[in-house]
Amino acid sequence: MILFILLVVVPIVTLIWLFFYDRGQKQHSILRNFPILGRVRYFLERTGPEFRQYLFSDDNSGKPFSREEYLHMVLPGKYKSSLIGFGSKRDFEAPGYYIRNAMFTKQNEEMRVDNSDLVDTRHYVIDDEGLFTRREHTEEIPALPWLLPPDDAVVIGPDCREPFHVRSLLGQSAMSFGSLGKNAITALSKGIGMAKGAWMNTGEGGLSDHHLSGGPEIIAQISSGLFGYRTPEGEFDIEKVKEKAAIPNVRAFELKLAQGAKMRGGHVEGEKVTEEIAKIRTVEPYTTINSPNRFREFDDYPSMFEFIEQIREVGGKPVGIKVVIGSKSEADELAGWMKKTGKGPDFISVDGSEGGSGATYQDLADSLGLPIKTALTILDDSLQEHGVRDRVKIIASGKITTPDKAAIALALGADLVQVARGFMISVGCIMALKCHTNECPAGVATTDEDLQRALVVDEKKYRVTNYILTMREGLFRIAAAAGLDSPTKLNRSHLVYMDERGRAHPVHAHDEHLSVR
């Protein structure tokens, strides 16, 4: 009798109650006309993205990353492998860039690489994989680091008291503590630290103990909100720059003018701003944070350059800017002022419009700024035309998640590449698109203590390490195939662009900027 009540009576009574409740409510038109059935519609609408991702979208059609692109970030981190079988899924009829292969490639022993100090990591090995089950275990393995030799290191700020010698061509792009939770930041820090040579950008939320926990190289970002570098009243505090610069792992500072997904200041919902985050940022806990659209400390190139000089002098370390390129004239103006004043940034982080964000507006993300491939060629051309390219390094970001994409970025003018979402996916992100809500189901983009339990630092840190090592190895593999002994030697002469008619165009400096996929 009890079973009958639970299985029959209770569901019927519930449906009757829902019918009359839906008919009477005033918020949803569909529910007033179609009680209960309308709820089925809303259920399908809410679960649609998940169903499409796993069941209905083909491997190459998902956005912002397809299933294929997602796996190219997950599998290297988990299994430390990027091997595929049978053939590529790329659409070879579509326009795009290709890397020129050499008739006579380089042997491994001919490569200019430092693999002397092995990295201790762990990877997964599949024991058995069935339709509904998978058994796998982890194994400790020594891995090659794929670092640049000291003589080939990319030197940022050679004239600073403490230049930044970079021996990893790949680093982590800016991601704030607050946008990501402490477990995610800690796993990233430890994974990047174990990989050796790579750097971690703090993002605009300031430097935390979680960033320092793994001992990675740090680029400390300063945003228009001055978080971590401000007085309680919100004014710039140069003493906090001096304080951060005294930390050996902090190797450079970066002024954030813009990022790919937003040309304005950052945004963090109040529920993400815990007391710990508020203390680091010098703001009120659980209060929504909106950064100003730009720095109040400068409003033109001369005043920006003076601000850079002030930070460089006090900190003794390189100072760069993070920008999104909007036009050739804009890049020319920046380069022109650098030439005229003899001043300027030590590096420029250029983010493409395809770059991501923990929270932004759809209109800004979709239509402002140029994609990374076009932005790189414009910026590199402008700096060379004004004779200041040798003074500044370019760091590229914007959906550069695989070695071939990184190689193309280096060939188009970047000295280094950095990744954000590839690292997020390495620590467990499933692209639920809930970064701005504090409800990330994987415990990555959330400060909720219960949700963060999903992210086990001592497991995910190895995935971060493996992702970096696989990316760096891939860059050297591509360089060898192009007949080069180092990926630092990639340039536009190593690229061809195939147009919509299948015609191959060489890509040289000062070429007309081609449309890209």
Dist. CA 63–CA 48, nearest whole Å: 14
pLDDT score at 47: 64
Task: List Cβ neighbours of 311 (8 Å cut-off, separation of 6 or more).
Answer: 222, 238, 241, 253, 255, 319
Give the torsion sign (CA, 485, 490, 491, 493): positive
Record the tokens describing residue 206, joined without a space.
């300031």
Are 443 and 427 a contacting pair, CB within 8 Å?
A: no
Dist. CA 250–CA 106, nearest whole Å: 36
pLDDT score at 360: 61
Q: To which residue do tokens 């001055």 refer? A: 226
The three-point CA angle 63-65-69 to 5° equals 145
pLDDT score at 159: 94
The stretches of 157-274 forming alpha helices (DSSP H) are: 182-195, 209-212, 238-245
Give the torsion sign (CA, 101, 102, 103, 106): negative
Q: To which residue do tokens 């003493």 refer? A: 239
CA neighbor of 507 nearest in space, from 113, 100, 135? 100
pLDDT score at 279: 82
Are 395 and 348 a contacting pair, CB within 8 Å?
A: yes
3-state helix, strand, coil in the chain (%, to 5): 40, 15, 45
DSSP 8-state assignment for residue 282: T
Are 466 and 422 a contacting pair, CB within 8 Å?
A: no
Are 355 and 391 a contacting pair, CB within 8 Å?
A: no
Give the torsion sign (CA, 344, 349, 350, 353): negative
Q: Following CA atoms 72, 78, 84, 89 in sequence, which dihedral angle do they give, to the nearest 10 degrees?
A: -20
DSSP 8-state assignment for residue 348: E
Record the tokens describing residue 443, joined without a space.
């415990």
Dist. CA 101–CA 406, nearest whole Å: 16
pLDDT score at 513: 44
Are 220 and 208 a contacting pair, CB within 8 Å?
A: no
pLDDT score at 379: 96
The stretches of 356-439 forming alpha helices (DSSP H) are: 362-367, 372-385, 403-411, 421-426
pLDDT score at 512: 46
pLDDT score at 48: 64
Q: ω into residue 76 within 30 of 0, thus cis?
A: no
Residue 136, strand partner residues: 126
pLDDT score at 265: 61
Dist. CA 458–CA 462, nearest whole Å: 7
* φ and ψ of 155, to 5 deg: -100, 115
One pLDDT digit (tens) per residue for the chain, 517 residues: 777 676 666 777 777 887 877 777 776 677 777 787 777 776 766 666 656 665 555 556 666 766 777 778 888 888 888 877 788 878 888 899 999 999 999 999 999 999 999 999 999 888 887 766 678 888 999 999 999 999 999 999 999 999 999 999 999 999 888 888 899 999 999 999 999 999 999 998 889 999 999 999 999 999 988 998 988 888 999 999 999 999 999 999 999 998 765 556 666 777 778 888 888 887 888 888 777 778 888 889 999 999 999 999 999 999 999 999 988 999 999 999 999 999 999 999 998 876 666 566 666 665 577 888 999 999 999 999 999 999 999 999 988 989 999 999 999 999 999 999 889 888 888 777 777 778 888 888 888 888 888 888 999 999 999 999 999 999 999 999 999 999 999 999 999 999 988 898 988 755 544 433 2
